Amino acid sequence: MSKHGRHVARHGERCLVREERVVADSHHANLWPATARTLVVLAVGSVIALGIVLLFEVFDMGFVGRHEVQPAEEADPSTLVPPHVGPAVAGEEETPVAGSAVASTAGASTADTSTLAGMVAAGRVSSIRLVGDSITAGYLCDGYEAPSDTGVVAYSGPEGTYYETATTIDDWANSFRSYATERDVTFVNAAVSGFRMSFLADDPDAWLADGADVIVVMLGTNDAAKESLEDFRAYAREALAAAAARCGHLVVVSPPDNERTDATNRFGMGQVDQVLGELCAEAGWEHVSLYDVLVPGTSDFNEDQVHPTSAGSQKLWAAFRERLGLG
């Protein structure tokens, strides 16, 4: 090979070497960024994975831990029922604890509010007006001579104006008053000596005033000595209907039997009891009979054998309370 040819060959080799170096350098230059990107992605991925793991650890410790349901401890039976209340003995009913929710609602939830006792138990009575004659006014009972200590008008109409008799008289009406006031019930004893069922029929407003939640009427003793049985029935029907229209609940009471010496009866007290019972059955009024409670000729009555003694009057209250189921 000529000198010129060798020179050309060496020059070509050098150029080839330089080109290979350029290619190699270019390859290494291109290879580094790809590797770096891969490492960065792997690093970032690791950080994210670690973050997720840590996040779940925090979530598990902080959130789930606070709301984890713990096993319930077994209740101590002694804490469920007060020590003095236990299961009912055979044949006995379990008694609710006074002041407990059961005790405060048991009576109200089961009370028959079609009766006076049920209405009282349910707390549906705020006022009672008692209408009657001398037996209910306490005539000849201990303390009857005392003047009215309330100033409450019992009757004001064609027959005059009369005030409630003293609250200190020892009679059935004041025992009824005590029962009512102990239960925060306003009580008026509108009984007037000598009055009859016909007076109530003739002018109910004069005797009933503004009415009451409950009106209790015991009349018929004086009617038996003044009019026929047929007239009494007619007066009673009209009078009791007027009373029922002025109250939420009417209680009709048959007076006790008597052998009065101050007048002559035109019909017996047993007939009064029958008429009142029949009228109440027809109209749906509550009826209680005291006809058989007192015994004429005994210490139940004063000498006139029509007005009860204080002892006899208290027997009327005991029977009234028992027969109406007043607790």
End-to-end, the C-alpha distance of the chain in Å comes to 146
The answer to whether 234 and 149 have CB atoms below 8 angstroms apart is no
Tens digits of residue pLDDT in 305-318? 999 999 999 999 99
| Separation CA 183–CA 261 (nearest Å) | 39
Tens digits of residue pLDDT in 130-164? 999 999 999 999 999 999 999 999 999 999 999 99
- What local confidence, expressed as pLDDT, does residue 196 receive? 98
- Asked whether the predicted pLDDT for residue 232 surpasses 60, the reply is yes
If pLDDT is split at 50, 70 and 90, which confidence band does 52 have? low
Q: Is 250 helix (H, G, I), strand (E, B) or coil?
A: strand
| Separation CA 116–CA 286 (nearest Å) | 8
Label residue 58 exposed, middle or buried (CB < 10 Å: 0-12, 13-18, 19+). Answer: exposed
Q: Is 33 helix (H, G, I), strand (E, B) or coil?
A: helix
If pLDDT is split at 50, 70 and 90, which confidence band does 50 have? low
Residue with the larger pLDDT of the pair 90 and 159 = 159
If pLDDT is split at 50, 70 and 90, which confidence band does 183 have? very high
The one-letter amino acid code at 267 reads F
- What local confidence, expressed as pLDDT, does residue 129 receive? 99
- What local confidence, expressed as pLDDT, does residue 327 receive? 85
Tens digits of residue pLDDT in 157-175? 999 999 999 999 999 999 9
- What local confidence, expressed as pLDDT, does residue 149 receive? 98
Mean pLDDT for the stretch of residues 5-12 = 46
| Separation CA 140–CA 301 (nearest Å) | 10
DSSP 161-217: EEEPPPTTS-SHHHHHHHHHHTTT-EEEE---TT--HHHHHH-HHHHHTT-EEEEEE
What percent of the chain clears pLDDT 90, i.e. is strictly above it?
65
Residue with the larger pLDDT of the pair 50 and 291 = 291
Q: Is 89 helix (H, G, I), strand (E, B) or coil?
A: coil
| Separation CA 105–CA 121 (nearest Å) | 10
Lowest-confidence region among 34-43, 97-106, 139-148: 97-106
- What local confidence, expressed as pLDDT, does residue 109 receive? 53
- Asked whether the predicted pLDDT for residue 296 surpasses 90, the reply is yes
